[in-house]
Chains A and B, each alone.
Chain A
Amino acid sequence: KQEVTQIPAALSVPEGENLVLNCSFTDSAIYNLQWFRQDPGKGLTSLLLIQSSQREQTSGRLNASLDKSSGRSTLYIAASQPGDSATYLCAVNPGTYKYIFGTGTRLKVLA
């Protein structure tokens, strides 16, 4: 059974720091992996989607990588800002269109 883990559960960093959020999954047979951002009391906003054949995707200050063989993905945030404070979730599509979610990393960027 596929399981998705995100460590750490919470993270506080000073503004301007580059940071890495981790996502690991137990079964490498995935179609793609999606990173989301969730602000308190809001829905999930898609940040990046990486197909199983890709190694990384970039959008602005965000870069997501995927290593299927090791069951890992990272979300790199460059030059963090207080507006980046949110919960970040990763989810894997095992091929059934039923994504499996991690429990998220709650990020706080301090001004």
Chain B
Amino acid sequence: DGGITQSPKYLFRKEGQNVTLSCEQNLNHDAMYWYRQDPGQGLRLIYYSQIVNDFQKGDIAEGYSVSREKKESFPLTVTSAQKNPTAFYLCASIRTGTGGVDGYTFGSGTRLTVV
């Protein structure tokens, strides 16, 4: 079955440490997205990529970095510059060029906690 796989499910980060969250999709979707979810604040867009080797900042990109070397993969690195990284991180993808007729597909999320 096609879908999006996020790993790990839980991640603990020490102060000053960079960590990388994995997002892999086998849906042949063109565009991929990273969202952050905090209680009571809804989903906020961190970065997105609509084509391989290209990505754009979202609304809250500071302290995060991404790469898109393969169509299937869109890893997110949370750097030490992100002062409040504790949150639930969600990866999504969509097939473009169709007017978005298929809508978003989401992964199961990664919960990141600073220890």
Q: Say how far A109's CB is from chain B's closest CB, in angstroms.
A: 21
A49 to B99: give the CA distance in the assembly, Å. 12
Give the total number of A-B pairs whose CB atoms are below 8 A apart. 59
Look across to chain A and name the residue whose beta carbon is closest to the beta carbon of B56. A98
A89 to B103: give the CA distance in the assembly, Å. 14
Q: Is the CB of A46 within 8 A of B103?
A: yes
A49 to B98: give the CA distance in the assembly, Å. 14
A93 to B45: give the CA distance in the assembly, Å. 13
Chain B 28-54: CB-based contact to A (< 8 A → 1; otherwise 0): 000101010000111101001010000
A51 to B105: give the CA distance in the assembly, Å. 16
Q: Is the CB of A44 within 8 A of B106?
A: yes
Q: Using Cβ atoms and an 8 Å threshold, which residues of chain A touch B48?
A: 98
The binding surface of chain B is classed by DSSP as strand
A71 CB-CB contact with B under 8 Å = no
Q: Say how far A1's CB is from chain B's closest CB, in angstroms.
A: 11
Which stretch (B12-20, B61-69, B73-81, B107-115) binds chain A? B107-115
The binding surface of chain A is classed by DSSP as strand
Q: Using Cβ atoms and an 8 Å threshold, which residues of chain B touch A45?
A: 106
Report which of B6, B45, B104 forms a contact with A34, defined as CB distance below 8 A: B104
Q: Using Cβ atoms and an 8 Å threshold, which residues of chain B touch A103?
A: 40-42
Q: Is the CB of A49 within 8 A of B96?
A: no
Q: Is the CB of A32 within 8 A of B107?
A: no
Report which of A31, A43, A104 forms a contact with B90, defined as CB distance below 8 A: A43
Which 6 residue pairs spanning A and B have beta carbons closest together?
A103-B42, A49-B103, A44-B106, A43-B108, A43-B106, A101-B43
- 7 extra interface residue pairs, beta carbon distance < 8 Å, beyond A89-B43, A93-B103, A97-B50: A34-B103, A44-B104, A45-B106, A46-B103, A97-B31, A97-B94, A98-B48
